[in-house]
Amino acid sequence: MEIKDILHPDCTLCAVQGTSKKRVLELISQIANQHLIDVDIDQATILSSLTCREKMGSTGIGNGIALPHGRLQELENVMAIVLTSKKPIDYDAIDNAPVDIFFAILVPEDKASEHLGTLSAIATKLNNKDTLSLMRQAKTDQELFEALG
């Protein structure tokens, strides 16, 4: 799986004004809702899916990275949203470090095995120091998108 198979350039935002975990999840759900025009999923449902997963344990994986994710019954294809924040925020990450890279995925409810494979591919990509450096140096949404190529 290539990241660009699930990530649209319009779902990549650089240097957002995220001030809290809740605000970042709200922004992710808002972006997803704007791009899911062919599917009847409202922003509240998307946000609920993301926050329910966070209640089971933080998706902050360390090194300033979070992988928020959720499952949606009405969704047909995996969708990704990538954000970087101007200032790192407290996200209850496993290393207790603040987070500035948010790679969110939304997956169809009935594709759980694909979901794990997608998370694994993303984690591998984000384990690359060059990729992380390019993401953190990005000044525009397009540069951030290209950093994941």
Tell me which of 112 and 42 has the higher pLDDT: 42
* 3-class SS letters over 59-77: CEEECCEECCEEEECCCCC
Contacts with 113 (C-beta within 8 Å, 6 or more apart), sequence order: none
**Considering the chain, what is the average pLDDT of its residues?**
92
- Strand partners of residue 118: none
Compute the distance between CA of residue 40 and CA of residue 148 in angstroms, rounded to an integer: 29
Catalytic residues: 69
Q: What is the pTM of this model?
A: 0.93
Contacts with 83 (C-beta within 8 Å, 6 or more apart), sequence order: 12, 13, 14, 16, 18, 24, 27, 28, 101, 102, 104
Mind listing the pLDDT tens digit for each residue in 121-141? Answer: 888 889 999 999 999 999 999
Residue 112 has pLDDT above 70, yes or no: no
What value does the mean pLDDT take over residues 86-112?
A: 93
Residue 113 has pLDDT above 90, yes or no: no
Q: What is the pLDDT of residue 86?
A: 93
Q: What is the pLDDT of residue 135?
A: 97
Compute the distance between CA of residue 72 and CA of residue 48 in angstroms, rounded to an integer: 10
Express as a percent the part of the chain with pLDDT over 90. Answer: 76
